[in-house]
Structure formats: structure tokens, C-alpha cells
Structure 1
Amino acid sequence: MAEKELMQQEQNYADITLLLEGTYPFVRGGVSGWVHQLIEGLPQYTFALIFLGSRKRDYDKPKYVLPDNVVHLECHYLWDPFSLSEPKACKGNNEYILKSRKLHDWFRNPCSSFDEAEVRKLLVSLGQLSGFTMEEFFYSVATWQHICECYDEYDADNSFIDYIWAIKAMHAPLFRLASIAHQFTYRTGTFHTLSTGFAGFLGTLLHYITTRPLILTEHGIYTKERKIDLQSLFIKEHHDLLSDAQYMGMQYQEILWVRYFESLGRLIYKASNPIISLYEKNRERQITDGADHDRTKVIPNGMEVERFLTIRAQRPEKIPLVIGLIGRIVPIKDIKTFIRAMPTILSQLPGAEGWLIGPDDEDKEYAQECRDLVLELALEENVHFLGFQKISDVLPRIGVLVLTSISEAFPLVILEAYASGLPIVATDVGACREIIEGKSDEDRALGCAGIVVPIANPEAIAEAVITLLTDKNRWHLAKKAGIQRVENYYTQSRMLDDYKTIYDQVLTQ
């Protein structure tokens, strides 16, 4: 019997182990929907899931029913309190720190040499008695001296307290990830991480420890998204900068965190093969950020068009004066721009409604700010927060789907809208332009399936929505282009065939 067949018969074996950071199965969204689609669409493989969250209290029960071919799920929370021994000063492993300096030098200068064998040994021994323990990191003289030297060299003009806590906050989760990697008992054919960041770092450790291949699929560029998150936090918190000392030095720490995630990204790119993106622009960004050109590959999202034929048939002949936004109520989706566009839309289309369709429990403070904005603009009769809804129930009742995001990768909801016969207005982020206007001459010949607008521009959103809802001919041409585009280029079967090919290749290694 072949080795793979013997392994599949073992109780603690999965063909693919998916590494999931803050997504499936506890958070709804585009990436989570994609994961569920992948697992259900490839029932011939078994999957193990490692979920990485922030704190356990931040998550409720799973939002998805796990398919039968999911044979294992384990959850870890990186920001829950750590179990450390009583503080006790120790000498620390100077040899390990000296070797780690070479890795940090490479982080600062990616053009310098990268000794993969040395890095492998360094990372595999992280958190181990034979290498460098968490207690040594927090309590040793060697660590203290190293942090002081780095501060003097790179950050002497800023607060030392801010610097040391930033360094400790950055490194603490890496020790937890090292512990997760060493305690993972499932045998697996391959690891597949859905991002760089912490999930990707865990994948790198597991790849080094087990020698099994690591696949990376980036739906969005992790470092770019973290930069947006940090800038958003910085802008939000600095309104009271002079009166609250805890925010002093935030600007430097923001830069430090961005560099941290960029460094992790380069490390993960070195360990991954293939490195998959959803569209060409992101593949080029991966290469710029350190990915090997020959390892990169584009696999667009796809969806089951046939499932939406019934929804398409339910679409009324008269275009509904309903503007829908399907997505989480979070800052990166820029819900406030959608709300601010509504007064202009209502000035031309008094009976129009704006529907915000998606969960609002991820960032409750922001969701409340959005509700307050609706009241402030006296839009409570026209703008409605519908929460999570079955997409089949709402798509036929919408006239135009709007995405106001300040960052996206390849929004699956656009493909779902096309398959249901619905035109799009979307900001010029991620793959939105090529999905709406076409990515090749042949594709562009199908026509525009909607309108692309600048980010954070309520007037542009309003103008585009009004154009589509008042120009029946343009609306129907956009509908036709969207249907043809999704049927020609973005089917689920095409996407699943690409992943089946990759899985079959790595599972034979």
C-alpha cells in the first residue's frame, strides 16, 4: 500500500492543515466564505484547522458548520495572558542572541545573505530549552543588554519605555506560536496558510519542524492591511495626544510594527512554495516585498454560478431603488462613506433606501458611530442596518451593490452580485477595477459591469449610484457584462481545479 494511503488511514492524519488567523470558522467574511467553499468543494481531501485568534472572549461559537472532511480543529489565542514562571533573573543564551542578530540584520537589509539552514535551526529551537525560552526573553540579562543596544542604535530619540514594551509585545506571540508548532500532533501532507503574519509564521515553524511543504495564499497583502489598521488607529487615537501620555511615541511604534510584519512576510515567503495571490497586482506586490518570482502564481476567486440562477430569475423587471452594501460593519469597509453618500442619492431619488447587510459585532464602537451618523444626517427612515442575512434573500431586492472599502483583495461578493444579475459600484481597491472593467482585451470587450470610484468620496459614490439607477440601458448593459464575466472567468470549478493540481503536487513530495 502506498505511503499516502497508509497515512490517510491513521486517526491523526489530515491531507491539508489550514492555518487561519482571525477568520474561519468563527468570523464571517470573504476569506471565511472562501475557506468553506474550498473545503466543501474538495471533499476528496481531509482538512485540519488551526485557528489563531486574539483573545478567547472575542469569539462566540463557530459561524459555520464544519464539513465532514474537516477532521480536526484547534484554537489558540495569542493575546490571552501567558503562563510564565515567577520573575527570576538569569544569564540567558548569548549564543542564541548573537545568531538571532544575523536574522534581524537580514530583516533590516533583505539584500544581505540569508542562511536558511541557520534560520531553520534558530526558529525550531525558539521557546525550547535547547534554544531560547520565553523566561529568558523576559528575564535574562542577555536580552536586556540586547534591547538596550538596539534602542541606542535605532531609537534613542524616543521613549525607552515605549520601545521596550513594543519589543516585548512583538516577540511574546512568537513564543506562543513556537509552543503551538511543537505541540501539534497531527501528521499532515501539507500546510496551507491563508496569510503571512502570525498564521504564516506558524506555518514556517511547522514547515521547518516537520519538513512538510508550506503553501501560502494571500487574499490581501497582510503587511499592507496591517499598515492601514495601524494608521487608522493612530489617526483615531491621536485626537487627544497631548492630554494622554499613553499615546506618546505611537508614530514610531506604528512604523516599528509595520517593519515587524514586513520582516515576518519576507521570512514566510522564503519558506512557502507556491505563493498564491488572487490577482496580478498583488502578485507583483509580493515580488516587491521579497517573494521569489518563480514561486508566485495567480488563482482568482471563483464561485458556483449555477447556485445563483434561481436568484437571478427572481430579479424584478423594475430596478429596485435599493442600494446595498454587503460586508462587516468595520472601519476598513468605510461604512461612513456609504452613509454620507445617501443624502445626495436621496436628493435625486427620494424613495431610495440604503441597506447595510452584515454583522456589526466585530467593532461595536465603530458600528455605534455609524448608527449615530445615520441619526445625525436624519437618515433613519432610509438607511437600515439589517445584520447578517442570507444572500439569496437580499440580492434580488437590491438595485445596485456598493463597496466603499479602503482596502480589499478580491471581493467574492462582487462575483455573487454578477451571478445574480446585479451591477456594482466599488472603490478602486484590490482587484475591483479589473473585475468590473476587465483584465484583458477579450475581457474588457464584454463591457463594464458597473462603475469604479475613488476611495472615501461620498459624492462620487452617489453620482455613480444615481447614474446606474436612472439610466436603465446602462444598468442592463452592466448586468449583462457582469453575468458574462463571471461565467467566462470566475467559476468555482476553475478555481478548485487549480487548487486540486497544487494539492496533488505537494502531497506527493
Structure 2
Amino acid sequence: MNTRKAESADVALVLEGTFPYVSGGVSSWINQIIRAYPEIRFAIVFLGSRREDYQEFKYQLPDNVVHFEEHYLYANLNAHHQPAKRSGDREAFALIDQLIDALHQGPDSPQTMEVFRQVALQMRPGGRLQMEDFLYSQRAWEIICNVYRDHCSDPSFVDFFWTVRIMFQPLWLLARVATALIPVRVVHCASTGYAGFLGGLLEQTRGTPLVLSEHGIYTKERKIDLFKSEWIRDNRNIFQRDPTELSYFRQMWIHFFEWIGRYCYASANPIIALYEANRLRQVADGAAPERTFNIPNGIELARFAPLRAQRPATPPPVLCLIGRVVPIKDIKTFVRAMRRVANELPGAEGWIAGPADEDPAYAEECQSLVRSLGLEKNIRFLGFQKVEDLMPRIGLVVLSSISEALPLVLLEGYAAGVPAVSTDVGSCRQLVEGLDAADQALGPSGKIVPIADPQQLADAALSLLSDPAAWQAASNAAIARVERYYTDTMMFDRYRAVYEKAFLRARGAH
């Protein structure tokens, strides 16, 4: 257990399910940001699901992390005592009634956000809307029953009741965290969601400037998760279901994350995206356009450029997917593509370099698929690897993901001179083909293929690996693109300006 505690800090990083417990793109970026500013004293507020879902740190905390605290959203969902009878605060529940009515006016209603902010204030310790009243009062029970009767299309009241509890109960935990957090000059959230709710509450109650950086769009990624989640039940029978309609509980979760996302957007300034399509998505989801702008990821050229000299004269027939073995990375499409690649290039190998412990069931499915396709000699699951050890030994970096933002692994490959084959997600087309005319003039640094299309992924990889001139042209474009547009120095300079501006606002607020 980490015991770093301080009486104050400069920046509180509010992180949900990422650094320091989980490796990956967002966590690597957070590690970069902290280490780039040794003069800034950081506090980390880590939010997780349950304590047992996280093991040891995947990253060592830098020395300028002076304070660390962790909180688990679903740690205490059940009462360990017989609850006392409660009536609930009349004014607080009148506010809840107003919020329920306002939510039906649509997401763009300013009245709805104002009521939402009033409710958030009353969730704090000493406020009128206490968690025990939400859990155990007669009035809360009546509201839940009324909403179920009026709006729920799922026949299971029990599932509705527990969905409401699981969804909203963590907000009271976050209200306590906001009250108890040490003084900080700036809050920086790496997502909306529960982390963004905490950041918004700190801005609302303390006036602390809130910086929001979104790699992926949280509400979009949660929608993908919710569409695929098996734990969200649909109890309607075959005659009650409309196959074109999402189950009521999935809709509940989606609307919940949309609203707490809007709450965060209302408090954050600036709101930073990695690339233009995501910035426009933020605006569509409720962010004020004038508060939004882009800061793309950047990588340390000096770390990867020397690897170019270690490469063989011809590209190795090795396709490497660097990432977690989880459904959003669509490892199965990569495996299926490797069957076609191996048919054309029998000596080709597919390496999957990333941890497989996040979703063991999915990892086992991927390994079973390898066996069923007879690819045991062609595909290797390497686990976590140092990227520097991989780059001189591979011919292509491959991304088969169904969702990405601006993946660092492509930039790291580019800096080492390795072209990419990627699905058309996030900013990947921009990274491969270029953003504007000057960028596009550098030439393509690989190939873009549709999502979940093993044949096109395989054919794109083969077109580069079987044509040394095309591979070399893509490698040259990759090096030129990353050196011109995606260095960590550029990124650090822009975030330094963000922090300095926020510090000035913090000084003016006190």
C-alpha cells in the first residue's frame, strides 16, 4: 500500500481505472506528463471498481507525486447492519423530483444542468441529500417505484432497484472525497465519468480550476462496453422485445454517463482532445466549443530513433500487435488475418505483446482461436514487453482495434522506422495518411483498413511486407511524420502553457 501523503499539492490528477495500476496508452501518457514537470507537485486520486480488481502498481510513482489516495466505487454496496427507518429531507427530495422532470426536457436544457448541480451540492457531507436517505428512506423508495412504473420497460423491478443503487451510490463516495481532498491549485481529469464528476464537484465547491484531457471519449467508450456487457440483463420475453431497441438498463447506464459527462464539461476549462474528430464529439456531447482544443500525443524521439540502425536490411515478416488482450483491441480479427498472411508467407509470425490478465476469459478465447486455425507456430502471445526490445525485430505495427484515440504505439513504431497497418478508428487515418496537405505530402506511413475485416487487414500487411520499396517509402514517411508533428517536446510545451494558465486562474480565484 502506498503511503505518500501531503498537506497540499499543485495539481490533483483524478484517474479512473488507469495509472498506476493499469498499463496502456492513457497510463503511459500520465506517466509522461508527471515526469515532464519535476517542479510540479502532483497528487493522484485513483478511482477503481473494487480493491480486489487491482493488484500491484504497473508504474513506479515519480518522486514529484507527493500524495496518493485510492477509492473504490463499488466497495461498500451492501449494508452490514440493520438500517434504521428514515423519512428523508423534504426539500432534498423535492429537488430530486425537479431533476426527474427536467431530465425529460432533453440534454440541452440549461434548467436540467442547474438542477443537476444543485443536487450534486446536496450530496456533500452535511448536505440535505444524504446517502442513507437515498438508500433507506420511505421517500426514496416511493420515487424509485414511481419511476419504475412510469418509465421502465423491463419487467424486473429487482434488477431496476439494484441498477439504480449501483449507478448512483458511488456519487456520495465522491462527494466525501471532494470534501476531504487536500488543497490543490488545479484539478486535472483524464476522463469524464466518475472521475469527471469528482473534478466537476471540486470546481463547483472550491472554485479550483478543472482541466479535462480526453484520450478517448468516455461516453462513447462506455457505450461500446455497455453494448457488449453480459452482466446487464434484459428480462423481456421474445414478444416484448424490439430487436432494434436497446434494453432499458443499457439505456439507463448510457444516459447516466452522458449526464455526468455534461456536468464535467460544464465545469472544465479547457477541454482538451487528442484530435479534431474527438473535439467535435465533445462539442456534440455538450462541451462549450470555445473551451475546446487539441493537443496530440507525442513521443520521445531520442528513445526510439537509435533503434533504426538495429533493423535488418529487409523488413522481418513479423506483424506485431502491441496492446492489452481485451475485446476492444479485437485480437480475434488479428488472429484471423494471420491465417491468410501465413498462407501467403508461411514463415510469417504474429506477435501479441501485451498483458492478458485483464480479461482472462477473452484471452483464452483468443488462444483457442489460434489453435482452431492451426496457427500455433505462427502466433506468439508474449505478454508485456518493452517496446524498444520489439521494434528492431518486427516488420509492421498492427492495430485491429474497434476503438482508439491517438495510439502512442503507432508513434513509437514510426520513431523506430516501423510502418503501421491500422483499422480506421480514432485518429489512425490521420496518423497514417496525414491531416492537412503538408502532412499528406509526406506520403502514407502504412495502410488503413476497415474494422473487423481480417482479409483486408491481411492483404494490407502482405502488400507492404512483400514489396521492400513500398515498405521503405512507408518507413520514411513514418519517420518524417513523427519528427514533424508528434514529439513529446511539442506536447509538453503545450501542457506547460495549460498548467501555467490554470495556475493564474487559481491565484485569481483566492
One fold, TM greater than 0.5?
Answer: yes
Shift of 1:414: 0.6
Matching residue's letter, 2:92: Y
CA contact (8 A) 1:127 1:134 kept: no
Q: 2:406 aligns with which of 407, 410, 426?
A: 410
Shift of 1:459: 0.6
Aligned counterparts, 1:185-196, within 5 A: 186-196=182-192
Q: Distance in 2 between matches of 1:11 and 1:456?
A: 48
1:177 aligns with 2:177: no
CA contact (8 A) 1:327 1:333 kept: yes
1:224 aligns with 2:220: yes
CA contact (8 A) 2:10 2:185 kept: yes
What residue in structure 1 maps to residue 290 of structure 2? 294
1:428 aligns with 2:431: no
CA contact (8 A) 2:203 2:209 kept: yes
Residues 176-205 of structure 1, C-alpha deviation per residue, up to 9 Å, x if partnerless? Answer: 111222222x11110000000010011111
Matching residue's letter, 1:413: V
Q: Distance in 1 between matches of 2:264 and 2:302?
A: 37
What residue in structure 1 maps to residue 468 of structure 2? 472
What residue in structure 2 maps to residue 38 of structure 1? 33
**Secondary structure in structure 2 of the residue aligned to 1:508:** helix
Q: Distance in 2 between matches of 1:363 and 1:489?
A: 35
Shift of 1:61: 1.2
Q: 2:347 aligns with which of 339, 345, 351?
A: 351
Matching residue's letter, 1:80: A
What residue in structure 1 maps to residue 386 of structure 2? 390
Q: 2:109 aligns with which of 99, 107, 112?
A: 112
Shift of 1:139: 0.9
RMSD: 2.2
CA contact (8 A) 2:319 2:350 kept: yes
Change (3 A) 1:77 1:380: same
CA contact (8 A) 2:15 2:47 kept: yes
Shift of 1:119: 4.7
Q: Distance in 2 between matches of 1:189 and 1:294?
A: 23
Q: Distance in 1 between matches of 2:7 and 2:231?
A: 47
What residue in structure 2 maps to residue 132 of structure 1? 129
Q: 1:198 aligns with which of 178, 194, 212?
A: 194
Q: Distance in 1 between matches of 2:458 and 2:101?
A: 49
1:155 aligns with 2:152: yes
What residue in structure 2 maps to residue 52 of structure 1? 47
Moved more, 474-483 or 110-119: 110-119
Aligned counterparts, 1:219-298, within 5 A: 219-234=215-230, 251-298=247-294
What residue in structure 2 maps to residue 12 of structure 1? 7
What residue in structure 2 maps to residue 90 of structure 1? 86
Shift of 1:80: 1.4
Matching residue's letter, 1:439: L
Shift of 1:233: 1.7
Shift of 1:107: 4.2
**Secondary structure in structure 1 of the residue aligned to 2:376:** coil
CA contact (8 A) 2:324 2:355 kept: yes
Shift of 1:162: 2.2
What residue in structure 1 maps to residue 242 of structure 2? none
CA contact (8 A) 1:302 1:412 kept: yes
Moved more, 284-293 or 201-210: 201-210
CA contact (8 A) 1:312 1:420 kept: yes
Shift of 1:258: 0.7
Matching residue's letter, 1:57: E
Change (3 A) 1:177 1:351: same
Q: 1:143 aligns with which of 136, 140, 145?
A: 140
CA contact (8 A) 2:121 2:127 kept: no
The runs of 5 or more residues in structure 1 that have no matched partner are: 1-9, 243-248
CA contact (8 A) 1:234 1:251 kept: no
Give % identity.
Answer: 48
What residue in structure 2 maps to residue 245 of structure 1? none
TM-score (structure 2 length as normaliser): 0.93
**Secondary structure in structure 1 of the residue aligned to 2:43:** strand
Shift of 1:207: 1.6
1:456 aligns with 2:452: yes
What residue in structure 1 maps to residue 163 of structure 2? 166
Query: What number of residue pairs does the alignment pair up?
Result: 493
Residues 297-343 of structure 1, C-alpha deviation per residue, up to 9 Å, x if partnerless? Answer: 11111111121111122111121010100000000000011001111
CA contact (8 A) 2:113 2:263 kept: no
Aligned counterparts, 1:274-353, within 5 A: 274-353=270-349
**Secondary structure in structure 2 of the residue aligned to 1:387:** coil
Q: Distance in 2 between matches of 1:363 and 1:492?
A: 31
CA contact (8 A) 1:322 1:399 kept: yes
What residue in structure 1 maps to residue 480 of structure 2? 484
CA contact (8 A) 1:106 1:113 kept: no
